[in-house]
Chains A and B, each alone.
Chain A
């Protein structure tokens, strides 16, 4: 790719504010948002195993942050992001294979994604909190 040759007036993708919210667009935006969150979360996961390799004292400090209110919110948010992006990602793979493009199907699969990811999130929170 040559940056210098490119005309400067090429259009960017439409930004979020031009859309009127509807289920399909909200889920699409949420897919991106959770994808970005999970990318940061993957770095956090890498930091976790590095702390685990580093020694007991550092790991205790790291874990005490995870057990704090902020840590729990972040981990709970990570679980929701993971379940949502997973379910909606499978929906995207079906689209890639050519299935589910009718408006009715897109809405139905969208609601299924919402339901399954919310149920999985709540279940993981309940089980996780009980084990703490």
Chain B
């Protein structure tokens, strides 16, 4: 391709729009938040193994668990989609890259909202 534009002209619009570290920083913030949340959830999951339907619902529906579970799923999905974006940016290119990243973000939002509604419904007696 015969590109006579200056290096600056070619770089414009391709780089940071004053939020270059935003993705990196949120990935770290969510990572730090997930340290206690994942430890709590892993211990809870092990303790709940073998529990029947009523016990699981009572557990999910208690106020503290509702808050921690919504945080775990919400922050976890956010951290997960940020990480998947990096993986896709590393190993895919072109239109596929954009399409897959958008798909991953949509899936994260849909499942996150679904989980939150489910938890609230259990807690508030639906």
Contact = CB atoms under 8 A, between A and B. Distances in A.
A90 B35 contact: yes
Interface in A116-132: 120, 124, 127-129, 131-132
Contacts of B111: 42-43, 46-47
B91 A131 contact: no
A2 B77 CA distance: 27
- In this complex, the interface size class of chain A, counting residues with CB under 8 Å from chain B, is 35 or more
B90 A124 contact: no
B48 to A, nearest CB: 8
A118 B111 CA distance: 30
Contacts of A43: 77, 107, 111
Interface of A: 1-3, 5-8, 10, 12-13, 15, 32, 35-36, 38-39, 42-43, 45-47, 49-50, 52-54, 56, 59-60, 63, 75, 79, 82-83, 86, 89-90, 92-93, 96, 120, 124, 127-129, 131-132
Contacts of A86: 34-35, 38-39
B57 A83 contact: no
Contacts, number: 118
Contacts of B119: 49, 53
Nearest to B3: A7
Q: Give the dominant DSSP class at B's interface.
A: helix
Interface centre among A10, A52, A79, A124 (most CB of B within 10 A): A52
Interface of B: 1, 10, 13-14, 28, 31-32, 34-35, 38-39, 42, 45-47, 49-50, 53, 56-57, 60, 69, 72-73, 76-77, 80-81, 83-84, 87, 90-91, 93-95, 97-98, 107, 111-112, 114-115, 117-119, 121-122, 126
Given A3-B95, A128-B46, A50 B80 contact: no
Closest 7 CB pairs of A and B: A39-B80, A53-B118, A46-B115, A13-B90, A46-B111, A132-B50, A128-B46
B95 to A, nearest CB: 7
A79 B42 contact: yes
Given A49-B69, A52-B53, A89-B35, 16 more contacts: A3-B94, A3-B95, A12-B93, A13-B90, A35-B83, A35-B84, A36-B87, A49-B73, A52-B118, A53-B119, A56-B53, A83-B42, A93-B28, A96-B28, A120-B42, A124-B46
